[in-house]
Amino acid sequence: MLLLVLGTAAGGGIPQWNCACPGCAGARAHLHRRRRHASLAARAGEGRWYIVNATPDIADQIEDRPELHPGPGPRQTPLAGVILTDAELDHTLGIARLREADRLQVLATTPVRQALRDRLRLGDVLAPYTDVTWRELPGHGSEPLDPAAPGLQISAVPVSGKRPRYAADAPDDEAWVVALRLYDPASSTSVLYAPALAAWPDRLQQAAAEADCVLVDGTFWDDEEPRRTGISSRTATGMGHLPIDGPGGTAERLAPLSARCLYTHLNNTNPLVDPAAPQHKRLARLGIEVAYDGMVIEP
């Protein structure tokens, strides 16, 4: 299994265009601190790649990785499809950017697909440009990620019913937000990717315990961060993101795992966006890492 970390930032990226917080100011002054929106690329087979979450940065993220460049044919691309963990704008707006494709395959759960097609009218918008095929993410059992290159298996682990704001009145469904489990039968290794966590159900804990590598939501360091920094009147959990630190924080859930554990989806207010922040050492003592843009993961 081969994974490319295309981005590790939460909504807005780092720096965010309209923000002068210390994290954004630091990223403007030091280019190595910049982070694109959180995304992965997973190799399903030779010359066959799937991107997890289509962010507003998707074109630049593809250009950053030679493995994703087109060729040798003038319109030949290794991008075989897009996988969605939820329906948030930060994870779906990039689909429209891929309209130049001859065809596009999108894997998503039923509520996510319905939100994009019925609320955002994405199917109607893209129909004049490209042929979009919607494929259901398997919630029970697993299936080959790419039928054209059988090997890597995929399954979805329902996490929460957190809806995007544009679909706030949509029906309840536990599959609004999922974690992805990628399993490679050849090496018997698995990766769990959960960039948005409003809850930590037992099934997620079981999937994490069975994984060789776990990448999870690290949006906020602690629950009071949004209110303390003035970006919201709500707490981290109130905004739909479990904090890293504190009682019930995700760090205490990750620390006992035997898997390699990394945080992604960092908000610009998170002290972890500063490489010199002492919070990095606290995580290191627990055996937990912070993912960075351009990281290559081979579990």
Residue 55, φ and ψ in degrees, nearest 5: -90, 170
Beta partners for 296? Answer: 4
Length of the chain, please?
A: 299
Question: What's the pLDDT score for residue 283?
Answer: 98
d(CA 179, CA 38): 14
Q: What is the mean pLDDT of the chain?
A: 97
> What confidence tier does 148 reach under pLDDT thresholds 50, 70, 90?
confident
Burial of 183-203, coded b for 16+ CB within 10 Å and e otherwise, reads bbeeeeebbbbbbbbbebeee
* Predicted local confidence at residue 139, as pLDDT: 84
pLDDT > 90: percent of the chain: 97
Given the DSSP bridges, would you call strands 189-194 and 177-184 parallel, antiparallel or unpaired?
antiparallel
- The single residue listed with the structure tokens 């908000």 is 267
pLDDT at 149: 81
Dist. CA 43–CA 26, nearest whole Å: 33
Bridging pattern class, strands 288-290 and 103-108: unpaired
Residue 130's alpha-carbon distances to 45, 82, 107, in angstroms, are: 24, 14, 16
Decide: 153 and 125 in contact? Cβ < 8 Å: no
Q: Taking the domains of the chain in order of start, what are their residue ranges?
A: 3-294
For domain 3-294, is the CATH number 3.60.15.10? yes
Q: What pLDDT, in 10s, does the model give residues 95-136?
A: 999 999 999 999 999 999 999 999 999 999 999 999 999 999
pLDDT at 160: 97
Element (H, E) at 203: helix 202-210
Band of residue 151 on the pLDDT scale cut at 50, 70, 90: confident
